[in-house]
Amino acid sequence: MSEPILELKDVDVHYGVIQALKKVSLHIDEGETVSLIGSNGAGKSTLLMSIFGQPRASAGQILFRGTDITHKSSHYVASNGVAQAPEGRRVFPDMSVEENLLMGTIPIGTAHADEDMQRMFELFPRLKERRNQRAMTMSGGEQQMLAIARALMSRPKLLLLDEPSLGLAPIVVKQIFQTLRELAATGMTIFLVEQNANHALRLSDRAYVMVTGEIRLSGTGEELLGNQEVRNAYLGGH
Ligand SMILES: Nc1ncnc2c1ncn2[C@@H]1O[C@H](COP(=O)(O)OP(=O)(O)O)[C@@H](O)[C@H]1O
Ligand SMILES: [Mg+2]
């Protein structure tokens, strides 16, 4: 059996006296698309950010490709192959699309920048049309695409996405998930955090459900789509 690319073992995270993650254990294998679903405030973003050590786990262990990264710097984690498109699609507003993409190469340097930018323009044709446009003047969906493309510019082995569908119109959400499907088909390993359980579960090989800082359920995307508790809590009971 292959070693997981990412493994969390009994991870706790505290914000002061508040415990945001409670003994969280999960794993992601190479080439998988795994999602973490849960309501607002469940601890999803905290979990993603803890992989970069911000916030730092107060107990437990985080392993990336077999190396213990629990106490490593976020720079170490980024330059060893983890990239994140953070919640709220934080792009550099005054920079153009191309300049934003170049910022994504910081963990690895610019040696492959031209080639990789072309790949991003194939994956996201809209970004090509807008390559010289300032990010702040683009639509929410375009900014989300840019945030994902920027993360991919560091040639990650693991891509973390924090609520890529947040605040976007249904048609745009559909486009984003279609692109993620194409990306997954290239072999990219994706860990996706979403409140939009329907899209996330349909895309994912496996998923975890988080409730108030704990993993409540796990299974294949299909199993969880059929699970009554998941349907009631996250799919409007349908
Ligand atoms: N920087 C912070 N300081 C204190 N509490 C925080 C901080 N960030 C998040 N929290 C709290 O941790 C819990 C989990 O938040 P978060 O990880 O953002 O959840 P989610 O991403 O699932 O909406 C919430 O109760 C939230 O209020
Ligand atoms: Mg969040």
Q: How confident is the model at residue 2 (pLDDT cuts 50, 70, 90)?
A: low
Ligand 1 pocket test target in 36, 46, 49, 192 with most atoms within 8 Å of CB: 46
Q: What's the pLDDT score for residue 105?
A: 96
The answer to whether the CB of 65 falls within 8 A of the CB of 5 is yes
Instruction: For 214-231, write each residue's pLDDT tens digit.
Output: 999 999 999 999 999 999
| Cβ of 90 below 6 Å from ligand 1 | no
Instruction: For 109-143, write each residue's pLDDT tens digit.
Output: 999 999 999 999 999 999 999 999 999 999 999 99
Identify the helix (H) or strand (E) that includes residue 45. helix 44-50
Q: How far, in Å, is the centroid of ligand 2 from the Cα of 194?
A: 8
Atom index in ligand 1 nearest the CA of residue 210 equals: 22
User: What mean pLDDT, rounded, does the chain reach?
Assistant: 95
- Beta-ladder partners of 23: none
Instruction: For 153-204, write each residue's pLDDT tens digit.
Output: 999 999 999 999 999 999 999 999 999 999 999 999 999 999 989 999 999 9
Atom index in ligand 1 nearest the CA of residue 40 equals: 23
